[in-house]
Structure 1
Amino acid sequence: MKILSIALTLIIMVLLLASCFGDMAANPGIDTSGQKKADASGETIVLKFAAGPSHAKDDKTKKILELVERKTGYKCQTVVLPGNELDSTKKIKLSVLAGVEYDFIYSNSDTSVNYAHSKVIKPLDDLIKSTGYDVEKVFGPYIQKIDGKIYMLPELKDIHIVYYNKKIFDDAKVPYPAADWTWQDYIDIAKQLTNKEKNIFGSYFIEWTIYFSMIARQKKIPLYKPDGYSNFDDPGWAESFKFMADLGNVHKVQPDYLTYKTQKMPYDMFFQGNIGMWPAGSWVLTYVSDLKKYPRDWKIGIAPLPQINKGEKVVPGIIGGYSVLSTTKHEREAFEAIKVIAEEAYTVYTDIPCRVDLYEGDINKIAEHISSLLSFDGITPDDIRNIILDSQLEIVPENDPGPASFVIAYNLIPAYGELYCTGQKGLEDTMKELKEKADAAIKEELDSDYE
């Protein structure tokens, strides 16, 4: 207990220092024309938004906090959590459990489950009821319930598409991707684009879980069996891992995994200009629009995600949103802030909203707004409508919620994917051991009843 107490004290000290640095980096130039709201003591209400380093610094965070300030009159302050983004998830849990005060945070359909079970975020049901907020009317099926309660207001739906470098295509005299292409087409095109002498690769899959599970997700192979344990002995999961590994090891259309890891290639290497195609979430449109952070003289195109079979439109996706943290002293104000973001963030950035109360005219305005931010690349409203806002898309979750899902998705799948891709384990042994580890994690969580 003494060791735990010391550890928690150190965590609090680090996070308080981070908070100070977050204050220094808090958004300048915010529209303060509206009167700031004060609490009962007359002090201006300051809402603390907890975020990892890259999230805290990006232009989207600046714009949405400005939006909250304009709409609510509250002052917003970004608190930067130390470490990388995955570390930040752990840091927020430890610091909240240690009593450090924050007000709201970005979460998604994966992290919100983990946060809720750890009591890091608050259920919103009482706030929704007391304010008469009709969440079903506004967000419909995008409202996620965890153990029967709502913990997150959904702000964006993120689906996977393909970003491609038009210059690399043009130099190789390869036509841009067709709307109805398959993964075999993707591999064939990537081979045509790859030029080792110029250090150009046609494809770029990275170490994140979705790249190991892409084929399994599109085949709708569940993560869990009916008995609640993992499904990694389904051949579709082995096929999915093999597809990922073969891109670098067999087809050689991207850096092999060992090279990728040893050279510490960044996840956003596409923007360096030597990658032909990068399948990634629609959140990358934020980066495409940010020519200050990612300056370039070449243009980007977007295409639908390739399918296993021609004619299908199955795309992995994830719902992102905002949650109120359990240590907040401004519960109602924090709820008001996340409500503004969930409803209106799409008006200031490239996010695809989860609102089902928008009409055809609104959808067209969204497409026009997003394309206006991508004018350098010539991405049109029709591109946005046909590729991202297509009502015929069948969106499947990137990960299935369930016991130990966070550990499985963010730790085990990437770890065993690396062992297989680098040749340290064969495919059969990889899947066998992955299932054993996943089942053990599931049992441990079930035995602890999520505590």
Structure 2
Amino acid sequence: MKKALITLLLLTIAVATVFASGSKEAKQETRVVTTVCRASYVNEEWFNSMNAAFEAETGIHVDVQPTPGNDADHDAKLNIDLLAGSTIDVIPSLGPKFYYNRADAGYFVALDDLIASKGIDAKEVWGSYLPYSDDGHYYAVPYKQEVYCVFYNKNLFDRAGVPYPEGPWTWDEYVETAKKVTDLSAGIYGSYMNIENPWFILSAKQKNIPLYKEDGTCNFDAPEFRESIEWYKSLGNDLKIQMPVEEVVNENASWNYYAMAGDHLALFVQGNWFTRLLNSQTDYPKDWDYGVAPTPSAGEDGNNNFVSMGYYSINKNAEHPEEALEYLIWLGQNQWKFEGQIPALASLTAEEQNQVFSAIADASHGQVTVSDLYENFMNTGMGVAQSDIIGTAADEYNRIVNDEVAAYCMDLQDIDTTISKICSRVNEAIKNVQ
């Protein structure tokens, strides 16, 4: 009996050891990569499908950590987390401003050698879209480019008996078109623009007026910036073709407001990425159809369109650097297929070119065609203007302009005070950085 008990005990220990060993091996085999995203992304089908596809292809589980709040909350918290030594693996930067600020702060690892170690020629894949820093290295790969355009509500144009807008056109023609569709008695505005950059300074940016003087100080006292913000304010306060800034603030309108309230907003200037929202009846149900027109020009010296980029980088403190590299490379080549956006790839096959726009057109269920998208996004004959503020203390510069121009638009201060405060505050921010 005693011998039997000893034998049973030994068998139990052996089995437990085998299971423990197996469990340990299984745990070691589970590969994970972590990333962050805006809160709204976790409920969007394309985002979840994309990560599921990556996991199915590589066996690497994507642990997504969404940031509560709006876009500003996301970017602010992400910057704080990076400063505090966050170990999140893959960091998204939507726009050159956020990318260069973070790269210059030393939060990311150089990718040149890492990507080359995978047998990938980065220049062949991403070409001129690679964001090289002054040190000759790049710290991110681009995953999409955003080309600005004008979205419009076809139903509101039909209601007013006004032809759909076509390019090429100017901002004066944009205003005249918006006037024809506006019907304040029915709560319909002919135009809607976000209350932030670059909308505050559209024409100045299209003319590529520098935001910094040659000596590195603030150039916001250039007359073109004054003209731009006076024009922006006039749209809501004087012409009344769009919601006044105070009303937009009271609505707590966020980045996706037009997708939720476009039933009474005729024209909207935004990047092509917004088609994803307008095509999603699941996430943004609507009972109206949209169309696209090119961005208006600011005259002969302002015939430029805004182009921005989205980037992925690897955190220098990444907990899973190998998995992070695989995820980053995959996203840089594949995210556009799920998000339905324009990739930032050096070259596309004829089939891929058609896929870029046919995916968007198909998802619109007849609202826009491949030809509509190509002609109004890519074949406009316009040059390129930078949508972000990039340079010394750029993040602070952007915040100051947004704060002071919003105050001006709500009649809390006059134009001279606005320009003066922007210049003095930005120069102080530049001085503090130096």
TM-score, with length taken from structure 2:
0.88
The answer to whether residue 156 in structure 2 is matched with residue 168 in structure 1 is: yes
CA distance in 2, matches of 1:187, 1:392: 22
Alignment of 1:201-220 (within 5 A): 201-220=189-208
Alignment identity in percent? 27
CA distance in 2, matches of 1:81, 1:159: 26
**Which residue pairs with 2:404 in the alignment?**
416
Q: Which of the residues 302, 309, 315 maps onto 2:299? A: 309
- Structure 1: which 5+ residue stretches go unaligned? 1-37, 447-451
Does structure 2 retain, via aligned residues, the 8 Å contact 1:181–1:310? no
Does structure 1 retain, via aligned residues, the 8 Å contact 2:168–2:380? no
**Which residue pairs with 1:29 in the alignment?**
none
The answer to whether residue 325 in structure 2 is matched with residue 335 in structure 1 is: yes
> Over residues 142-196 of structure 1, what are the superposed CA-to-partner deviations in whole Å (9 max), with x where a residue is unaligned?
1112332211100111011111000100000000002211111111111111111
> Over residues 295-351 of structure 1, what are the superposed CA-to-partner deviations in whole Å (9 max), with x where a residue is unaligned?
122100111011122797411121112111222122122111111111112222311
Alignment of 1:88-99 (within 5 A): 88-99=74-85
- Structure 2: which 5+ residue stretches go unaligned? 1-23
**Which residue pairs with 2:392 in the alignment?**
403
- Number of corresponding residues: 407
Does structure 1 retain, via aligned residues, the 8 Å contact 2:207–2:301? no
The answer to whether residue 119 in structure 2 is matched with residue 128 in structure 1 is: no
Does structure 2 retain, via aligned residues, the 8 Å contact 1:122–1:325? yes
Give the 3 Å change call, closer, same or farther, for CA 59–340 of structure 1 in structure 2: same
AA at the equivalent of 1:260: V
CA distance in 2, matches of 1:327, 1:62: 25
AA at the equivalent of 2:421: E
The answer to whether residue 104 in structure 2 is matched with residue 114 in structure 1 is: no
Does structure 2 retain, via aligned residues, the 8 Å contact 1:96–1:326? no
**Which residue pairs with 2:20 in the alignment?**
none
Does structure 2 retain, via aligned residues, the 8 Å contact 1:214–1:316? no
Cα RMSD of the aligned pairs, angstroms, is 2.1
Does structure 1 retain, via aligned residues, the 8 Å contact 2:148–2:272? yes
Does structure 1 retain, via aligned residues, the 8 Å contact 2:206–2:385? yes
> Over residues 83-115 of structure 1, what are the superposed CA-to-partner deviations in whole Å (9 max), with x where a residue is unaligned?
332122222233233344211121131111121
Give 1:362 shift: 2.7
Alignment of 1:249-268 (within 5 A): 249-268=237-256
Please identify, of 253-262 and 121-130, the stretch whose mean Cα deviation from structure 2 is larger.
121-130
CA distance in 2, matches of 1:427, 1:321: 36
Does structure 1 retain, via aligned residues, the 8 Å contact 2:208–2:302? no
> Over residues 103-138 of structure 1, what are the superposed CA-to-partner deviations in whole Å (9 max), with x where a residue is unaligned?
112113111112123333322223123234212111
Alignment of 1:18-417 (within 5 A): 42-107=28-93, 108-148=95-135, 149-271=137-259, 272=261, 273-309=263-299, 313-377=303-367, 379-390=368-379, 392-409=381-398, 411-417=399-405
Give 1:61 shift: 2.2
Give 1:361 shift: 4.1
Does structure 2 retain, via aligned residues, the 8 Å contact 1:223–1:399? no
**Which residue pairs with 1:16 in the alignment?**
none
Does structure 1 retain, via aligned residues, the 8 Å contact 2:203–2:302? no
Give 1:231 shift: 1.1
CA distance in 2, matches of 1:39, 1:60: 33
Please identify, of 145-154 and 435-444, the stretch whose mean Cα deviation from structure 2 is larger.
145-154
> Over residues 330-381 of structure 1, what are the superposed CA-to-partner deviations in whole Å (9 max), with x where a residue is unaligned?
212211111111111222231100111213443123222221112242x111
Q: Which has the higher contact order (CA 8 A, sep 6+)?
A: 2
> Over residues 220-246 of structure 1, what are the superposed CA-to-partner deviations in whole Å (9 max), with x where a residue is unaligned?
111112211221111111111112111
Does structure 2 retain, via aligned residues, the 8 Å contact 1:159–1:395? no
TM-score, with length taken from structure 1:
0.85
CA distance in 2, matches of 1:266, 1:139: 32
Does structure 1 retain, via aligned residues, the 8 Å contact 2:34–2:62? yes
Q: Secondary structure at the match of 1:131?
A: coil
